[in-house]
């Protein structure tokens, strides 16, 4: 579970404060739906969900992700949330590549998918360069700050992942 520059581990109760604090960071809060403390604690204990913590080579927390659908019979894993707290040096891309490896190589996923706000151009670009395809838009899916927000569904299939030049 390691990469040249970063690694990740399954979150535990000691990571919940990091996750809740990260959700409130200015460069993150506009692009995610906040998950409450108790919901994070409950998710950590569920076998079909996982919060993963990305760390740099010095063991500093630099990102987290929330996966759902682990072990489902349809083999579709959702990247429900990804947040990068230290954005320098391609951390987000490295972390996403580790998550893709986790989904396809560790959990035998057929499909790894996510939704992203249309205005999050930076994230959409990273997803596309990592092999994700935009499938469509769910119009007015979320009600945020008094207005509706649409969301774009993106995914990568196992055959597409295997064909990537890794």
Contact (CB, 8 A) for 116 and 127: yes
Q: Tell me, what's the pLDDT at 6? A: 63
Domain boundaries, the chain: 6-163
Beta strand pairing status for 133-144 and 147-157?
Answer: antiparallel
pTM for this structure?
Answer: 0.90
Distant-in-sequence, close-in-space partners of 97: CB < 8 Å, separation ≥ 6: 3, 130, 166
pLDDT tens across the length of the chain (166 residues): 344 456 788 899 999 999 999 999 998 988 888 899 999 999 999 999 999 999 888 888 999 999 999 999 999 999 999 999 987 778 899 999 999 999 999 999 999 999 999 999 999 999 999 999 999 999 999 988 899 999 999 999 999 999 997 6
In CATH, the number for domain 6-163 is 3.40.630.30
Q: 120 φ, ψ to 5°?
A: -90, 70
* Rounded-to-integer distance, Cα 28 and Cα 49, Å: 21
């Amino acid at each position: 579970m390691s990469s040249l520059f970063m690694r990740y581990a399954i979150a535990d109760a000691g990571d919940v404060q990091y996750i809740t604090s990260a959700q409130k960071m200015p460069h993150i809060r506009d692009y995610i739906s906040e998950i409450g403390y108790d919901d994070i604690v409950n998710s950590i204990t569920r076998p079909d969900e996982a919060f993963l913590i990305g760390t740099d080579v010095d063991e500093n927390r630099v990102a987290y992700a929330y996966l759902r659908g682990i072990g489902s019979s349809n083999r579709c894993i959702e990247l429900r949330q990804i947040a990068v707290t230290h954005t320098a040096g391609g951390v987000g891309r490295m972390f996403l590549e580790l998550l893709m490896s986790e989904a396809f190589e560790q959990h035998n996923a057929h499909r790894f998918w996510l939704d992203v706000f249309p205005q999050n151009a930076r994230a959409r670009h990273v997803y596309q360069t990592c092999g994700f395809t935009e499938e469509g838009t769910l119009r007015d899916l979320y009600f945020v700050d008094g207005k509706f927000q649409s969301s774009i569904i993106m995914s990568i299939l196992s055959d597409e992942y295997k064909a990537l030049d890794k």
